[in-house]
Amino acid sequence: MEPPGIGARKRVLAFLFATVLFSGILLLRVGWLESYHGQNLLEKALRVRLRAVPVQAPRGAILDREGRVLATSLGGFGIYGVPAQISDKVGAARTLSGILDTPAAGLLSRLGQSAAVVWLKRHASSALVLRVRKAGLPGIGVVPEAKRFYPGGTLASQVIGFAGSDNQGLEGIELSADRYLTGKAGAVRVEMDALNRQMPWAVHTYTPPVPGDTVVLSLDAHLQLIAERAARQAQDATGAAGVSILIMNPKSGGILALANRPAYNPNTYWEYPPKDWRDPVVSDTFPPGSTFKPITLAAALQEKVVNANSRFYDPGYTKVTGIPIRCWKDGGHGSVDLAQVVANSCNVGFVAMGEKLGTPTFYRYLRAFGLLNRSGVDLPGETRSIYPPEKNVRPVDLAVMAFGQTLAVTPLQLLTAICAIANGGEMVRPHVIREVLSPVGKVVKPPGREMIRRVLSPGVAKEVTSLLVGVMAGTGKKAAVPGYVLAGKTGTAQAVVNGRYVEGQYIANFVGFGPVPNPRLAVLVVIHRPVGEYYGGQIAAPVFARVMEEALNYLKIKPNVPVATKTG
């Protein structure tokens, strides 16, 4: 039998032992956490207490191929509020209303939100920021942020696009190259308590933003000015609903200029209708008419269903399954050879070529020339071409498609296909981004030519080019530039509005390249629904000549044939 009190002492000793053991384990655990996870836990706790105000990264610049600035970021400021730190919200809203020229009710609504931070003014000037700071309002702060600026105004607006107030690309290259241009945002962080009040001895941290990359375009600002001036003059002279002019390097696929009328100023894009933001060269289709004929010609020569000695008879019309198809010339062209068919843009001759090719082969070349799919250009909003499904094509459909009707393509698709003829038979992917450079000048995306496929043999491409040179003495004589051998094709098609052909409204266009041989430039002019004269050879060809002549002079490309001089 244990003496009195022994059991109680054992229980006390057991309790003390358990307490010491538990405390030791707890200390060991705390020590282990401190040793191995202390810094991580400290950072987590700090993140819970820190309230961050984002600092926008300056977007990268957009440059033309010669380094001219097309888009840049200017310094500015963002004014923000921390609602939990503002005891007199009504008074703060009234004071800020007079400074920011913003209704007090709207400011009070923002300051009444439960958010940790609210924006009160974006892209504020330094003068405005000075007035805010002088007011000394608790809970009102300022952080630097960049404002996008386009020094050229309307220059290449539909190519460059614009960025929104939150530093995000919304249209054009600003959108398609957003991943390069955006950069990495920074932040200003302040230590706050659970009620969003700044803590005594609060920690303040600043993480600087990382600027975006610089995007260098294949675009040439001077060529762009040439194209835009010509488009404006063409619209004024013809009363057209719209004009597009596209200039490409046929060898590389680089877009050198892309002009549209109407245009807009990306610095004030909100003042223009959204339809003006779109780039019709990539987002709209049109029936090309006779400017499509070089594709049919190239396919027929490549497949050897016609040759230079082939002859055709054009009485002014032909019949396909009993349906008459007229040539544009009343009475027709009579008995003609292949060169005359091309020079005179004889519909009957091209119908015969389409029939000899047959639907499967014709569609194979449509596909090879990139006319059935998107081109993959690095611009947003590219649409698909419109054409009847191959299985549904009737003989009459094939006949009219052979001379550019019953299908619709984008201007970019058409000129890219023509470039494959100009460069010797290679389809190259069109592009407007030449290269991307990091903020320190390191190449992020190198320049490069992307050949998709070979569609013609060099010999056939040369033969088609020679036949298109002959056009310049026929229907395309108004597109000629003295001193240069050029190749080209006129085109006129009935306009399509809301999916229907519109009687009495037309699209005039001209496509060509040069100098021949070794073309440096390919140019497409499209004039939508002109008033009065509407044939491509009448109104689009002279615009092509003007653009080509100025571009050749600017690039210092010397004439390759003697220029006749008048003697008196």
Tell me the three state secondary structure of residue 157.
helix
Q: When comparing pLDDT for 495 and 515, which is higher?
A: 515
Read off the pLDDT of residues 56-71 as tens digits, 9 standing for 90 and up: 788 999 999 999 999 9
371-374: long-range contacts (C-beta < 8 A, 24 or more apart)?
A: 371/295, 371/407, 371/409, 371/413, 371/414, 371/417
- Mean pLDDT for the stretch of residues 208-230: 95
Instruction: Give me the sheet containing 50-55, strands edge to edge.
Output: 50-55, 186-191, 204-207
**pTM for the whole structure:** 0.83
Q: Is 438 a catalytic residue?
A: no
pLDDT at 135: 81
pLDDT at 565: 52
**Upstream peptide bond of 138 is cis (omega within 30 degrees of 0):** no
Read off the pLDDT of residues 298-310 as tens digits, 9 standing for 90 and up: 999 999 999 999 9
pLDDT at 48: 52
Task: Catalogue the E-assigned strands of 242-355.
Answer: 242-248, 255-261, 311-314, 317-320, 323-326, 334-337
pLDDT at 248: 98
Read off the pLDDT of residues 447-486 as tens digits, 9 standing for 90 and up: 777 888 999 999 999 999 999 999 998 889 999 999 999 9
Write down the catalytic residue from 290, 310, 345, 385. 290
Answer whether residue 566 shows pLDDT above 50.
no
**Torsion of the alpha carbons at 393, 396, 401 and 402, rounded to the nearest 10:** 120
In angstroms, the CA 401 to CA 409 distance is 12
Mutual angle of helices 6-36 and 38-49, in 10-degree steps: 80
Find, among 489, 487, 421, the residue nearest to 460 by Cα. 421
Strands 521-528 and 500-514, by their bridges, are antiparallel
- Mean pLDDT for the stretch of residues 96-101: 81
Segment holding 146, helix H or strand E? strand 140-149
CATH fold for domain 221-554: Beta-lactamase (3.40.710)
In angstroms, the CA 187 to CA 208 distance is 7
> CA of 25: how far to CAs of 11, 38, 41, 223, 323, in Å?
21, 17, 20, 78, 98
Instruction: Extract the tokens encoding 493.
Output: 């098609």
* Superfamily of structural domain 49-73+143-193+208-217: Penicillin-binding protein 2a (Domain 2) (3.90.1310.10)
Instruction: Extract the tokens encoding 299.
Output: 């396919």
Q: How confident is the model at residue 3 (pLDDT cuts 50, 70, 90)?
A: low
pLDDT at 61: 96
Find, among 525, 523, 527, 511, the residue nearest to 552 by Cα. 523
Q: Say if CB 427 and CB 367 are below 8 A apart.
A: no
In angstroms, the CA 247 to CA 432 distance is 11
Radius of gyration of the chain from Cα atoms? 34
The dihedral built from the CA positions of residue 182, 188, 192 and 196, taken in this order, carries a sign that is: negative
Tell me the three state secondary structure of residue 384.
coil
Segment holding 79, helix H or strand E? strand 69-81
Find, among 252, 231, 165, the residue nearest to 452 by Cα. 252
- The domain segmentation of the chain, as residue ranges, is 49-73+143-193+208-217, 221-554
Q: When comparing pLDDT for 265 and 30, which is higher?
A: 265
In angstroms, the CA 540 to CA 537 distance is 6
